[in-house]
């Protein structure tokens, strides 16, 4: 293979990568704040489909952006009195997987979040949320990936934090009431 052909392949493939960043917003604020601090950590994103299927453009979504997006979401939702990366009362470890498939003439984005809540290194509860959003028929620009991914992430986070809020008694104890 000649050097020119190799350079051309690298240039063309670099142009076929959709680099995305998302900023999901909560559908609604938490009904009541859990008066505890939360340490939120996000594992590396598992990505399936975007680089393994013929005709599907490569997708790049930095784990740093995913982590920041989830922290901003948690802060804006107000489920906990504070959210940080430092030492706190509770710890929520989130693993995320995005699967991209083409079916029925459209691309489908399936977001799976698993949240493991712990207190003082003791597991409390595990939550799993899965959401699928149909995207466009073609993926010509990065927005054709970003918009449905952001929507799927926001819906999955709404579910995840909704279930945590429904389990409020696990995190505040029986003697405390709502604090909002």
CA distance 58 to 19: 9
For helices 143-166 and 63-77, angle between their N-to-C axes, nearest 10 degrees: 50
What tokens appear for 106 in the block?
């459209």
C-beta of residue 152 within 8 angstroms of C-beta of residue 131: yes
Mean pLDDT value across residues 164-168:
97
In the prediction, which pLDDT does 175 show? 42
Pick among 1.10.3720.10, 3.30.565.10, 3.40.50.10610, 3.90.1280.20: CATH of 3-172: 3.40.50.10610
Mean pLDDT value across residues 86-93:
88
pLDDT higher than threshold 60 for residue 174: no
Per residue in 77-89, pLDDT tens? 999 999 987 778 8
> Three-state DSSP class for 64?
helix
In the prediction, which pLDDT does 12 show? 43
In the prediction, which pLDDT does 103 show? 79
Per residue in 94-134, pLDDT tens? 999 999 888 788 888 899 999 999 998 899 999 999 999 98
In the prediction, which pLDDT does 142 show? 53
Spell out the domain ranges in the chain: 3-172
């Amino acid at each position: 293979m000649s050097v020119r052909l190799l350079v051309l392949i690298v240039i063309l493939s670099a142009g076929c990568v959709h680099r995305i960043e998302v900023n999901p917003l909560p559908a609604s604020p938490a009904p009541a704040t859990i008066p505890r601090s939360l340490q939120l950590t996000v594992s590396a994103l598992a990505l399936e489909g975007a680089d393994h299927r013929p005709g599907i453009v490569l997708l790049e979504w930095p784990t740093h952006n995913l982590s920041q997006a989830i922290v901003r979401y948690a802060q804006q939702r107000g489920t906990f009195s504070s959210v940080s990366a430092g030492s706190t009362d509770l710890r929520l470890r989130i693993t995320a997987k995005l699967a991209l498939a083409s079916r029925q003439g459209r691309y489908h984005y399936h977001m799976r979040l698993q949240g493991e809540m712990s207190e003082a290194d003791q597991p409390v509860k595990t939550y799993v949320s899965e959401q699928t959003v149909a995207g466009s028929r073609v993926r010509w620009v990065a927005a054709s990936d970003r918009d449905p991914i952001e929507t799927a992430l926001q819906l999955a986070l709404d579910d995840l934090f909704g279930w945590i809020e429904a389990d409020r008694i696990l995190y505040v104890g029986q003697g405390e009431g709502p604090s909002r």
